[in-house]
Structure 1
């Protein structure tokens, strides 16, 4: 029986990248799709598929794909391409249908999984992008085999409606478009129109056309029409007579005092709701009062002198008129054959009209007031007006009630412009909509009898940006000019640090340098989020969400982000770009997770930071690591090298050549007095500091912190810090618990030298072991019996590979006399004792091969392991604790120290220790 194609395309995995990522320089959606049997059916083998999909998504004809020309994707469809690729382009086309300008995408096979593809495409709105992906897959399956329950027109309309619900309104979008054109970053702070422009201390907020500079008092004044009129009148500005009433009869008496005709409107209304014009007598006022009160929140109704003339909106931004529009009430024009109702339906079918403010025009709403107005003009809704007859459906010209706009920006009389600007100043609004009623805006209103009838806070922009008649005005420009004057910065410097080991310490060093310069530093690390030296969130905060939290904080003027592999793979960077990217090293750790199986693939992940460096930025790279060295090819900015290699080595020759071309580098120059950190910039060499005088290096013995200091100094130099500030920062940074918790903290406990460190992988253990050897050698005695013991408590995370766990144990055994194996609190999918068992295997193998270690023990609980190590340690011994919960460990060590100081006897077993948790020893005592 011949096989036939079946609708097997499915989404197995979905990721949303909110910044630069391994697939794209910008935010993207990543799908892993399974084609199933469709792997054997490219598009040219599916009859009618190409014609049908082009009919449903005609925008695909514009896609260039890899051909680089219009229609390139159509060529690929005819030649035959796989349906994962079709899903990518369909998701892009669907987003383009709703006005999202996205064109980036790629489809690549999943290595080792035939029929599975990575489908990656850009997005503007995350939820719309995800909905587009789901609909694209359903559409492709439907075209392979028709689904009777799949109604394309209904599905497309539902998708468009969904997109419109989350879309920014025309006013907000206009401001964002202007901000993007000026390279001002923005963040959406809620699902509506609250948006942050800029970062950190430079951030400004907008909500539609209200800004962070908009006065709350001014908004309250504008909302109180009676108070607004009083203030404008006191300033000598033309305003209509008006009184505020709460009862019908009081309104009638007020109308008689003011003189007919009058206007009734809610005191606290907006968008023209409840505004009733042409009230000629007491009966009109009584009927209008009820309609106006229905739109009032507080029940107060304004009775106002009716000014006869055209309706004009003057938009004032930062004290100056930015645009003027004439507003024409909603109406239809008879064609001699259609009823009023049909004419309204035809007008609402205009694609420019939508619900509320979602489009440039609002649909005409036929309510009781509209029906009454049509009747007053001599028509019923079912009547056919003569050809050319003008039928009004609203009395006010508000766009929100279906009106249209005509641009009059350059026609207004200068005196009217001055009046509008003075009105905005009197109310105190930075962005104001001044409503004029006058016969002609080109003539002075004081002479023609016009007046200001209303001052609006948060005025809409769409009547100016998308006028029905006339030229659009680019009014977002003065708004952004007001928030970010020419020359003002909108970004804070961002230094991002990555690497297999040393990220946290290097990030802390950089932060410490800039804190010493008086900067308000926001830092993310595996320990949490720190804002200006205060830990605000205690958790693993090395991911993109924490970075966005820092960028939202209004106190931060400098950001330092520790960036881990997991966050990049999960969500991307979470920000657009970093001014300085620091890559310390790439070692085999976390392999076998999220499709990263080789150290080269891991290097590709960490290189995302380098790719996110702009042309005027810097990549600080460890020249001693071949994989890091290769990242120079991915950097758009300048490369700053750092190296621990000695002069004359191949790496140093490469760095010297780099500096001869004007480049920058930090290197170590050895001498009889020690090692000097030297800054090289072009032909110049500047001495920075002796490594043995930096507290974090333990007299130069902690080689990992020598490397971290080089990376931190290079990053600070690239970010513009003066050398004396870098020097002072490094000299005052130590690995005490308060500056660097859990990173090489040294504690003296009753004569026992205890080192607390977060070492958790084999490469880190190799560096820690080197430090232990150097420290141990300095403590060595000439008599073997008096030789201090080295006791190591080690562990690793459960998501490492088995061979990585064994390697950790094998390396530790080379450097410690006694190894105590514990486990983390979170086993990450492993059974209790499984991780420790694998580490123990590595230790025992090393012991059998003649390693330094002579004894290995298993104490699974972290605190119990500490107690056990301390109970067997003698004065002068070195205990190294590789921690999981460093705060709990330091508290336990403090308890031991307090007991010793109080003279309390310490038994051979720690207080509260459970002997059952201490397993038997391996090796000789």
Structure 2
């Protein structure tokens, strides 16, 4: 078969907000198929078999057929390279652990040139998957080798590096389920849930309600024990030692066996258990002192039983996991290290990344394991006899769900411990024989209170049911009925949209709200211009949404910004559309007719919330027709009260805004509310009365009282004020 020439990428754009394709961020690619335009998949000998051999998961892609195997059917019937690339890129992202499913490919009308869009959760990963998918596709077309395992490994590494960790992603998913928006604030796991003044922030299992003092107390194990004991929470007897000799003295006083841990440690690091001799205690002291920031070590009564981790969110236990001891059995041939690899690390639940509920066991790198082995007369390189059982870890490996077994008194003690320390989210470590019985019956005790607890053991337990801890954390941060949203107003078109955005901001601000406006003239906070740079883009819009003082945000967008960046917000309370002009300016985007322009502008209406409103120019037939797309109610505006669209809408009981005798009038069905006369407004404001009507319609939709609307109209000065920036 003659090799086919390569597909060319004409343009690759990351659309970070709602766009012409979907509500979610996508990467949009403009493709020139070249000679492959004449070569659908069914004309390429062996192509489909080669592609599906590399990517058998493509059978799950339903495509337009709507059922499993739908995409494979399309391949065998004949489909084009752009469409195939879309599915290949999606499947590579799935294989790398970043689940995505949305993709579309459309012809531009120019021979061989297509626009292809695919969902991605991270731009870096998405672009890398695009390049890899392109290489794989051409290898399948030309029957040349392709190293899929290496490609997936590289993409997986990028997912681990650039995407949210699984615990944070789980919380964000919980917020998404409640329709709470989210913004990633750093390349790490600091995420904002909600917008503006309604936002909360999380950093994995820490929140902006997590007390710094509480975290400090939790890191001081001796202080934590003192506080818990004073409130009647069962804790093991213990004392602080500042030398190995003192640790042995305290161990003899408490009574063997004992446990040693750093006084300022966390998450079980540096902990040695079931110590029975002076040599063990001295060795354990060195481990604990090295792990902690101070040389102080806590010596405690060793509590027999299994370790448990209870996750407390707010005032209740929402998940519990149980640990188990780790053993290997010798075969007379393999070292302890090799036995761990063949008997423990082979478990698919174990791995190096956060995706795995259990970690890889490395005896040669763990001082705690080395100490346990030494007490058995072994080292990591020792070869145990055939049949010899070797203890690797007495506790830890907390990954088996036992949430439904927790005794109410145990749950009460754990929740109380979190409150005593002062943490809104805490991991409570306790040891007992049976979690379904009260601690007092079995000499069980709480041994540690952790801030920023790990969530993966509850999200992906090694056994038992996964727990919706992300939902619990979101429910803790947001009361029932709260969605983390502030009113967002979007203004799209070319007719006075900058002025409309500012005027809406003024009308809302006069009611006592802190308002941010991002438009073509700049960025405004409470009518004060803080930047004179064009702020119709995504970045400027995000500045408003992360501002904790902003209670209402108003954004101007246009067809170009929607096509090149997407909207800067996910949904809005009010969407204003003035017109669909500017087609000539969009030829470079392959937007060349009215239908294509409508598909761009409708984005503004598509994102209106069901409880929101579309404010549409009734004098523009194409704009008025967008009313059918609004999930919310519709408010029409026009200078002429006899406008046919206005009249029909009003007759049906709808809301309209119009002029009568030079006065702005609101009407809902037969009920009318006269507002201010144009003559009483500043001349710069009323140069184009339709702009005033659009802004008034938005203020009305937001519930601004009529008298305050009149006050705002009277006070507003449309003269543009300059600012540095």
Instruction: Using structure 2 for the length normalisation, give the TM-score.
Output: 0.93
Residue 297 in structure 1 maps to residue 293 in structure 2: yes
3-state SS of 1:308 partner: coil
Task: Please name the residue that 1:153 is paired with.
Answer: 149
* Distance change >3 Å, CA 618–CA 390, structure 1 → 2: farther
Which of 248, 256, 265 aligns to 1:252? It is 248
- CA drift at 1:565: 3.1
In structure 1, distance between residues paired with 2:439 and 2:586: 76
Task: Please name the residue that 1:352 is paired with.
Answer: 349
Higher relative contact order (CA closer than 8 Å, sequence separation 6+): 2
* Distance change >3 Å, CA 258–CA 371, structure 1 → 2: closer
Residue 681 in structure 1 maps to residue 668 in structure 2: yes
1:265-344 correspondence to structure 2 within 5 Å: 265-332=261-328, 340-344=336-340
In structure 2, distance between residues paired with 1:266 and 1:594: 62
* Distance change >3 Å, CA 248–CA 105, structure 1 → 2: same
Task: Please name the residue that 1:503 is paired with.
Answer: 497
- CA drift at 1:360: 2.5
1:375-774 correspondence to structure 2 within 5 Å: 376-377=375-376, 383=383, 391-397=390-396, 403-588=397-582, 590-597=585-592, 601-645=596-640, 647=642, 652-670=643-661, 675-696=662-683, 702=687, 704=688, 706-735=689-718, 737=719, 740-741=720-721
Task: Please name the residue that 1:129 is paired with.
Answer: 126
Task: Please name the residue that 1:40 is paired with.
Answer: 38
Task: Please name the residue that 1:95 is paired with.
Answer: 93
- CA drift at 1:602: 4.2
Kept in 2: contact 1:405–1:467 (CA 8 A): yes
Kept in 1: contact 2:193–2:199 (CA 8 A): yes
* Distance change >3 Å, CA 690–CA 333, structure 1 → 2: farther
1:839-854 correspondence to structure 2 within 5 Å: none
Which of 214, 227, 246 aligns to 1:231? It is 227
In structure 2, distance between residues paired with 1:463 and 1:66: 38
Task: Please name the residue that 2:24 is paired with.
Answer: 26
Please list the CA deviations of residues 331-350 of structure 1 after superposition, one character each: whole Å capped at 9, or x if unmatched: 44679997754553344344
3-state SS of 1:574 partner: coil
3-state SS of 1:328 partner: coil
Kept in 1: contact 2:192–2:202 (CA 8 A): yes
Kept in 1: contact 2:107–2:115 (CA 8 A): yes
- CA drift at 1:86: 0.7
- CA drift at 1:99: 4.0
- CA drift at 1:385: 6.7
3-state SS of 1:614 partner: strand
Please list the CA deviations of residues 782-818 of structure 1 after superposition, one character each: whole Å capped at 9, or x if unmatched: xxxxxxxxxxxxxxxxxxxxxxxxxxxxxxxxxxxxx
In structure 2, distance between residues paired with 1:137 and 1:466: 33
3-state SS of 1:73 partner: helix
Kept in 1: contact 2:19–2:567 (CA 8 A): yes
- CA drift at 1:376: 4.4
Task: Please name the residue that 2:185 is paired with.
Answer: 189
Task: Give the alignment's Cα RMSD to 1 decimal.
Answer: 2.5
Which of 254, 258, 263 aligns to 1:262? It is 258
In structure 1, distance between residues paired with 2:636 and 2:522: 29
Please list the CA deviations of residues 276-297 of structure 1 after superposition, one character each: whole Å capped at 9, or x if unmatched: 1232222222222222233223
Kept in 1: contact 2:283–2:371 (CA 8 A): no
Kept in 1: contact 2:121–2:163 (CA 8 A): no
In structure 2, distance between residues paired with 1:579 and 1:595: 30
Kept in 2: contact 1:339–1:385 (CA 8 A): no
In structure 1, distance between residues paired with 2:552 and 2:320: 42
- CA drift at 1:887: 6.7
1:735-814 correspondence to structure 2 within 5 Å: 735=718, 737=719, 740-741=720-721
Deviates more, 1:637-646 or 1:492-501: 637-646
* Distance change >3 Å, CA 498–CA 216, structure 1 → 2: same
Kept in 1: contact 2:97–2:156 (CA 8 A): no
* Distance change >3 Å, CA 612–CA 487, structure 1 → 2: closer
In structure 2, distance between residues paired with 1:119 and 1:224: 55
Task: Please name the residue that 1:867 is paired with.
Answer: none
3-state SS of 2:535 partner: coil
- CA drift at 1:497: 0.9
In structure 2, distance between residues paired with 1:55 and 1:696: 71
* Distance change >3 Å, CA 337–CA 46, structure 1 → 2: farther
3-state SS of 2:453 partner: coil
In structure 1, distance between residues paired with 2:332 and 2:701: 75
Task: Please name the residue that 1:104 is paired with.
Answer: 102
3-state SS of 2:637 partner: strand
* Distance change >3 Å, CA 502–CA 332, structure 1 → 2: farther
In structure 2, distance between residues paired with 1:587 and 1:410: 61
Kept in 2: contact 1:34–1:117 (CA 8 A): yes
* Distance change >3 Å, CA 376–CA 147, structure 1 → 2: farther
Kept in 2: contact 1:324–1:407 (CA 8 A): yes
3-state SS of 2:131 partner: helix
**Structure 2 gap segments, 5+ residues each:** none
In structure 1, distance between residues paired with 2:35 and 2:241: 75
Kept in 2: contact 1:7–1:142 (CA 8 A): no
Task: Please name the residue that 2:372 is paired with.
Answer: 373
In structure 2, distance between residues paired with 1:473 and 1:628: 47
- CA drift at 1:430: 0.9
Larger Rg: 1
Which of 76, 81, 92 aligns to 2:79? It is 81
Task: Please name the residue that 1:790 is paired with.
Answer: none
- CA drift at 1:354: 2.2
3-state SS of 1:485 partner: coil
In structure 2, distance between residues paired with 1:68 and 1:676: 55
In structure 1, distance between residues paired with 2:195 and 2:4: 50
Task: Please name the residue that 1:216 is paired with.
Answer: 212
Please list the CA deviations of residues 544-596 of structure 1 after superposition, one character each: whole Å capped at 9, or x if unmatched: 22222211111111111111333212210022111111112333363444444
- CA drift at 1:439: 2.8
In structure 2, distance between residues paired with 1:247 and 1:375: 21
3-state SS of 1:143 partner: helix
Task: Please name the residue that 1:169 is paired with.
Answer: 165
* Distance change >3 Å, CA 10–CA 329, structure 1 → 2: farther
- CA drift at 1:633: 3.9
